[in-house]
Amino acid sequence: MSGMIGFTDNYQDRSTREGYQFEFFCERCGNGYTSSFKHSVTGFGGRLLQMGGDLLGGDIGRKASELGWDAQWMRDGNRGKTWDKALAAAVDEMRPHFDQCHRCGEWVCGQVCWNGERGVCVNCAPKLDQEIAGMQARAQVDQLRGKIEQVDWTQGVTYGQPVTARCPSCDNDSGGGGGKYCQHCGTPLAAAPEASKFCGQCGTKVNAGQMFCTGCGSSTA
């Protein structure tokens, strides 16, 4: 087919019974570029004949309607040749939007993915200003991470004693952060010096780390 180029292996047919239209995609970023809609003479004329025939009625209307159906049938029957011409015209129209990288062979959009200074796609030769901006941003993140790690963010957090994740009184989430009291009921937690634990069977006070109650021998786990 005359005028055909390689990026036509990456397109979608947007044609309808009214005419032809195609969308071509960049093989790198996927951006799409749509050709102008070209009306089909047989398709549009066939519809007019059908509509006119339905309005006229009688033998004249019936013949007009039949001509309309025949015109659309001819359009579908000749779709191969007509469609090829429409695609070739769309290719010629969309050609300025694409460049082929002669290093990797991909057809890419000239707006985003083409490095005009190097004559190849940005995969093969990234644009230096974009790369510098990316490296600067990554360096800023790394430097901020280092500065943040130098700050003591644990002030006010009790971490020298075991922290109770669930309140022994109301069984809700204690609130985290090493707080001394439950956020739901205010019960002192294990991290607090005044916190106490009692046997659920006999009420005897149980010390930290004690596996069994000294009053009744029940397990404190």
**Phi, psi angles (nearest 5°) of residue 94:** -85, -15
CB 60 within 8 A of CB 49: no
Domain-located, residue 176: no
Domain-located, residue 115: no
Q: Which pLDDT does position 173 carry in this prediction? A: 78
List of residues 6+ apart from 66 with CB closer than 8 A: 53
Domain-located, residue 91: yes
pTM, 2 dp: 0.49
Q: Which pLDDT does position 141 carry in this prediction? A: 95
Q: Is the per-residue pLDDT at 132 higher than 70?
A: yes
Q: Which pLDDT does position 50 carry in this prediction? A: 46
**Which domain covers residue 14, as residue numbers?**
6-96
Q: Which pLDDT does position 214 carry in this prediction? A: 84
Domain-located, residue 62: yes
Which residue did the predictor score with more confidence, 109 or 178? 109
Out of 12-21, 31-40, 179-188, least confident range: 179-188
Mean pLDDT (the chain) is: 76
The model's pLDDT over 98-108, given as tens digits with 9 standing for 90+, comes to 999 999 999 99
Q: Is the per-residue pLDDT at 43 higher than 70?
A: no
Q: Which pLDDT does position 169 carry in this prediction? A: 76
The model's pLDDT over 106-130, given as tens digits with 9 standing for 90+, comes to 999 998 999 999 999 999 999 999 9
Domain-located, residue 37: yes
Domain-located, residue 69: yes
Q: Is the per-residue pLDDT at 16 higher than 60?
A: yes
Average pLDDT over residues 49-75: 47
Domain-located, residue 119: no
Q: Which pLDDT does position 187 carry in this prediction? A: 80
The total number of structural domains in the chain stands at 1
